[in-house]
Amino acid sequence: MTIRHMQIFRAVCEQKNVTRAAELLGMTQPAVSIAIRELESYYNAKLFDRIGRRIYLTEAGQALLGYADAILSQFDEATQVLRSGTSFMRCRLGVNVSVGETILPDILDCLERRIPGIKVEIYIGNTRNIEHRLSVNDIDIAIADCIAESSDRQIEDFYVGEVSVVASPEMAEKIYGSLNEREECHGLPNDNVEVRGSLNERITLTVDELARQRLLLREEGSGSRISLEAIFRACGCAVEPVTVSTSDLCLLNLARRGFGVTILPRELVASDLESGRLRELHLVDAQIKRRYFLAYNRRRSFKGVIADAVDVLRGGLD
């Protein structure tokens, strides 16, 4: 089998159509079909199921695709390294949005100080996008939360971040009033207000009460959304946001203007809390923390700058 066979196979997988794969590769359809048959004959395994005009990967095809991605990634990397000496210092790092908007500068500063000459290429996306790029070797190292376990993936603890539930002072006042009004309607004693706190002190609420607010949340597939959904499920609540965004900063600006309650890394809201631009709402029956992980593919034999970068990051931030 040749690299060309793997390139053809991956193109057919991506296009899910032999004709489109042939057009993409500048080949004839029969030539692509012959290459696929040669692969199936060589491995003695059926790689695709053909149903009507569509094709679907078999279990054997899924397994081969993982190896093909790794082989082609290594091939491309070898080409770049051997054609350009600067590629020896390249490190492709993928981080999720929350990391990108908080501790990414500290990560880059740490890498550049500890590994002189390193050239870090950054990809920022939600956790599921980062996982996909890692699985197809589009990045060398990932830093994100809620990374799924995989037999091909090494996952190590990296950083634990605090998370804050925040709203504008005006929104916090409305929430405070509605919570105490609900307690009065249910005949709770007046001294229960001390649990709630006052507008000048600590305002508390339960996860169930939080679920009833106008929630401004990250999109499905993001680490923060996955973590939050797990907490809500554990308390028997559903997550029904009024606004969904791929950007923490967008949610922060909406919360500042009083459009709802959001849940963000404490680093992003610390200055707003200190200035009084935002108020923090404290959960009494749950604690939200973000655990970030360092991940890389086990199949890869790390050498040079990539291995150095893993060692530096394994030691945590300075």
State pLDDT tens for residues 232-285.
Answer: 999 999 889 999 999 999 999 999 999 999 999 999 999 999 999 999 999 998
Categorize the per-residue pLDDT at 223 as very low, low, confident or very high, splitting at 50, 70 and 90: confident
In degrees, to the nearest 5, what angle opens at C-alpha 222 toward C-alphas 220 and 227? Answer: 90
Q: What is the DSSP letter of 206?
A: -
Instruction: Inform me whether the pLDDT recorded for 176 exceeds 70.
Output: yes
**Is the Cβ–Cβ distance between 268 and 290 less than 8 Å?**
no
Instruction: Inform me whether the pLDDT recorded for 178 exceeds 70.
Output: yes
Position 289 scores a pLDDT of: 84
Rounded Cα distance between 137 and 234, Å, is 35
Those residues whose C-beta lies under 8 Å from the C-beta of residue 138, and which sit 6 or more positions away, are 73, 92, 94, 123
Q: Which tokens sit at 285?
A: 């029956």
Categorize the per-residue pLDDT at 224 as very low, low, confident or very high, splitting at 50, 70 and 90: confident
